[in-house]
Structure 1
Amino acid sequence: MEYRNDYPNLSSGNSSDYERSDPFSDSGNSSEDDSASETVQSSISDSESVADSGSSSSGNQSRPFGDGLVPLFDGDRVHDLIKQRFLSSLGLLGAQASVVAVHRNSYSSLVGQARLRSFQIYLKAVEEKCGGNPNVKYAWYAPSSKDEISKIICHGFGNFEQPQRDGVFGNGVYLASDDSPMQCVESLNVDEDGLRHLLLCRVILGRPEVVCPGSKQHHPSSEQFDSGIDSIFAPKKYIIWSTHMNTHILPEYVISFRAPNCLKEFLKVQEPIKKPTSPWMPLPALISVLSKFLPPPSIALISKHYKDHRENVITRQQLIQKVRQIAGDKLLASIIKSFRAKQIKTLQTKGMPQAEAALRWTV
């Protein structure tokens, strides 16, 4: 299974199994024959030039994240590409959000340069290990605060403010695929200026393995794997284990934006109300059946979400989404269809017509 980042409007040239050309780089076109390590090497030169230009053009401007990040401005190709890509990926929220600033990591300090070269070394190692495809992606990281961004740029990733709030997929850094920033936006805090901030990172996935919700994993399950994902078919969440968080993640950009203050309420209003058409099954009965297929930690997590729903902590729709995420649609569909068939058969034995029996179990 190949994992690709497609930037149809951002990158020049042909795309390969991973992004050989940096879709956000302003260094010009790169050849199809360039290796991944050469791509990162070019980023070093780019970063040095950005640092030089940033120090001269914006030296008197405030730096909201401290040293190490330089602003990009409207009209700059990279700034405009990131802005367009981000807003278009927000769906309905995109029309209500506005990008206020984009900053680029300059890697101008000695430690910054060392961290960038370390990423290059590990990228080349994973590239050789995986037969030429290190599976490099862009991904979003949701910081807990503006201060955490400064700490990441200065010191690297760490447990500054317990960044992984749910810990559903084990001990690591969770990132959202570049086309799914909403995975991060919903959990962002608003700073004193009314802004939210996201980190756009380059990530080495290598060979990812599917991680089940409820996992206590904190490193690859074997030497065959390098990272974790939430789905084999359309991964929305990347898990970089704590053992790899400062070698396989390269923070490159910070995007600052405004969004409706009551973001969660806005999303509820914008979400179309649809009448459920799936077969109905009492959740306690569903949990009982799921316990035959899922590990105890997953069942405990589903039970917790069900309890939260009963106590009005989460909505019915949120409960459904969490159960789907944990159990998977294929298993759920099989269980519910089997349950529905049994119920229809039971009702038919009581003399109820088949069509009426079928409708009774559809809501």
Structure 2
Amino acid sequence: MDFSSGDVEAAVMRPTVPVAGGGAAVGPSALLRGWREFRRSAAPARFLCFEDGGWADVAGEAVGQLRRAFQDRRAMAEAACGGKAYLFDFLRMVRIDAATGEETALAWIDDRGACFFPAPGGGGRKRRRDDAPAEDEAESSSGVDERSGESRGAEDAAAKRMKASGAWGKSATARLEESGKYYQVVSKLFLSYGMASRGAVITAVRKVGQGARARAFQQQGQLLAATRGAAVGTPKFAWYGASAEDVAAVVESGFARTNAARLGGRKHGDGLHLSPPQCPYTSAMLAKADGSGEAHIVLCRVLMGRPEVVQAGSSQSRPSSDAYDSAVDKLENPQWYVVWSKDMNTRVLPEYVVSFKCPKLQPIQGSSEATSKPKKPSPGRDMFPTLLAEIEQLVPDKCDILQEYYSNFKMGQIKKDQFIRFLRSYIGDKVLTTVATKLRGC
């Protein structure tokens, strides 16, 4: 079986899970996300609703009515489609049936071609507004932004459960038999590209539970295929390496943080780094062996969409434009796939955990961003990317607006002094002074 292209083979790919539209209870973080997307979007050229397992265009006079309401910056609008009256909620990204109260996911594509879709995992069915979310909806993750405050706690809890029971939590308790088909396929993929020659021995292969995450992932694939083309929406296999604690947390509750800090200056942006299927050793070097010498690596499916090249050492944390979805170190035979943090819980689907021992494994000794001393700037160097990266660690809720203004400055739409005045007014002199002192190494 050929995995060299990185595309998912039918023999290993799990059966697809049907996805239905549906709104979910929206907390403050989700509403804030919707408000930011609403502000960021240009006038929509197309509106889409998720019906009968796929995205369908809103047609007729409703399109013009919704577009005018959006341009007037109204958060809600009424419109009729197919003889029914609906309320369109742009902040929650749902269409509400005025007669029944049923909610259906709403999305749009603006005049610039930028896509605005709701965070997946919000439900597996249409539902009334007063319905309680299903159990698998409640545990689904829509992204790191909505769980950043509890990420460390989730990792610690997962690590404690793993240490106490020797298991990987309720989401991945299916240990595969060595004689099984999928064990053979996954182990061959892991050992065929240099790991066996380095003395690697597999100690276990576990199947990760899916549920709401698989539905969210499938929905993202459909969105990418609809907006970028069918080939772009095809998932690939990729390896993710991390410590046992981080792997346990990912399996049980999703990605809480990226592994870019482990790579130090070799990172290609501040995103989740995964290696292609023919490069397991690259990600294995990010794994941390325990006292018995056992380490863990995760075989994932990943939706790359349209990647761009990001150079090593970059602090980029999002696509440079709406034309791109992810990043690579190089377009031809990449060694790293990079998925940005806002997408890592919807476009990366953990499939199998491979536990192994490898005496010749040389872990990467990356520097932690939390403890490493920033490099002093060289004369004439553009310090704004470094400055913004430090600011975003102190006030992460302001990073979207910061990046938007910085992009305007880089494109010459605003002058340097205007950008600096905006920084001072938006961030505050106290934060700027703290960051400047850190960058000077004082």
The TM-score with structure 2 as length reference comes to 0.45
Structure 1 residue identity aligned to 2:236: K
Whether contact under 8 Å (1:218, 1:243) holds in the other structure is no
Of the three residues 304, 328, 345, the one matched with 1:246 is 345
Structure 1 residue identity aligned to 2:189: R
Looking at structure 1, the residues matched to 354 and 309 of structure 2 have their Cα atoms a distance apart, in angstroms, of 29
Shift of 1:263: 3.0
Whether contact under 8 Å (2:299, 2:354) holds in the other structure is yes
Give the total of aligned pairs.
Answer: 221
**Deviations 1:273-308 (CA, angstroms, capped at 9, x unpaired):** xxxxxxxxxxxxxxxxxx9xxx879xx9xxxxxxxx
Structure 1 residue identity aligned to 2:209: S
Looking at structure 2, the residues matched to 125 and 176 of structure 1 have their Cα atoms a distance apart, in angstroms, of 24
Report the equivalent of 1:257.
356
Report the equivalent of 2:214.
116
Looking at structure 1, the residues matched to 258 and 275 of structure 2 have their Cα atoms a distance apart, in angstroms, of 20
Structure 2 residue identity aligned to 1:184: S
Of the three residues 307, 310, 316, the one matched with 1:217 is 316
Report the equivalent of 2:206.
103
Looking at structure 1, the residues matched to 308 and 258 of structure 2 have their Cα atoms a distance apart, in angstroms, of 26
Shift of 1:22: 3.4
Looking at structure 2, the residues matched to 169 and 95 of structure 1 have their Cα atoms a distance apart, in angstroms, of 26
Whether contact under 8 Å (1:164, 1:172) holds in the other structure is no
Looking at structure 2, the residues matched to 257 and 216 of structure 1 have their Cα atoms a distance apart, in angstroms, of 32
Alignment of 1:198 onto 2:297: yes
Q: Percent identity?
A: 31
Shift of 1:94: 3.2
When residues 169 and 296 of structure 1 are mapped into structure 2, their CA distance, relative to the original with a 3 A threshold, is farther
Looking at structure 2, the residues matched to 82 and 18 of structure 1 have their Cα atoms a distance apart, in angstroms, of 14
Secondary structure at the residue paired with 1:190?
Answer: coil
Pairing of 1:131-150 with structure 2 (within 5 A)? 131-133=229-231, 134-143=233-242, 145-150=243-248
Alignment of 1:236 onto 2:335: yes
When residues 95 and 142 of structure 1 are mapped into structure 2, their CA distance, relative to the original with a 3 A threshold, is closer
Secondary structure at the residue paired with 1:202?
Answer: strand
Whether contact under 8 Å (2:295, 2:357) holds in the other structure is yes
Alignment of 1:86 onto 2:152: no
When residues 117 and 105 of structure 1 are mapped into structure 2, their CA distance, relative to the original with a 3 A threshold, is same
Looking at structure 2, the residues matched to 225 and 241 of structure 1 have their Cα atoms a distance apart, in angstroms, of 11
Report the equivalent of 2:251.
153
Report the equivalent of 1:286.
none
Whether contact under 8 Å (2:258, 2:273) holds in the other structure is no
Looking at structure 2, the residues matched to 74 and 126 of structure 1 have their Cα atoms a distance apart, in angstroms, of 36
Looking at structure 2, the residues matched to 245 and 86 of structure 1 have their Cα atoms a distance apart, in angstroms, of 22
More strand by share: 2
More helix by share: 1
Report the equivalent of 1:72.
176
Whether contact under 8 Å (1:164, 1:173) holds in the other structure is no
Unpaired runs of 5+ residues, structure 1, are: 1-6, 29-36, 39-43, 49-61, 108-112, 266-290, 301-363
Pairing of 1:1-363 with structure 2 (within 5 A)? 7-8=1-2, 18-19=7-8, 21-25=9-13, 63-69=166-172, 70-90=174-194, 93-94=196-197, 96-107=199-210, 113-133=211-231, 134-143=233-242, 145-159=243-257, 164-166=262-264, 168-260=267-359, 262-264=360-362
When residues 195 and 27 of structure 1 are mapped into structure 2, their CA distance, relative to the original with a 3 A threshold, is same
When residues 18 and 256 of structure 1 are mapped into structure 2, their CA distance, relative to the original with a 3 A threshold, is closer
Secondary structure at the residue paired with 1:192?
Answer: coil
Unpaired runs of 5+ residues, structure 2, are: 17-52, 55-123, 125-135, 137-164, 364-377, 387-442
Looking at structure 2, the residues matched to 125 and 75 of structure 1 have their Cα atoms a distance apart, in angstroms, of 37
When residues 22 and 193 of structure 1 are mapped into structure 2, their CA distance, relative to the original with a 3 A threshold, is farther
Shift of 1:160: 8.0
Shift of 1:88: 1.0
Structure 2 residue identity aligned to 1:82: V
Looking at structure 1, the residues matched to 205 and 315 of structure 2 have their Cα atoms a distance apart, in angstroms, of 35
When residues 264 and 216 of structure 1 are mapped into structure 2, their CA distance, relative to the original with a 3 A threshold, is closer
Structure 1 residue identity aligned to 2:177: F
Report the equivalent of 2:409.
none
**Deviations 1:295-332 (CA, angstroms, capped at 9, x unpaired):** 879xx9xxxxxxxxxxxxxxxxxxxxxxxxxxxxxxxx
Shift of 1:245: 0.8
Shift of 1:18: 4.3
Secondary structure at the residue paired with 1:177?
Answer: coil
Secondary structure at the residue paired with 1:205?
Answer: coil
Secondary structure at the residue paired with 2:332?
Answer: coil
Looking at structure 2, the residues matched to 160 and 231 of structure 1 have their Cα atoms a distance apart, in angstroms, of 20
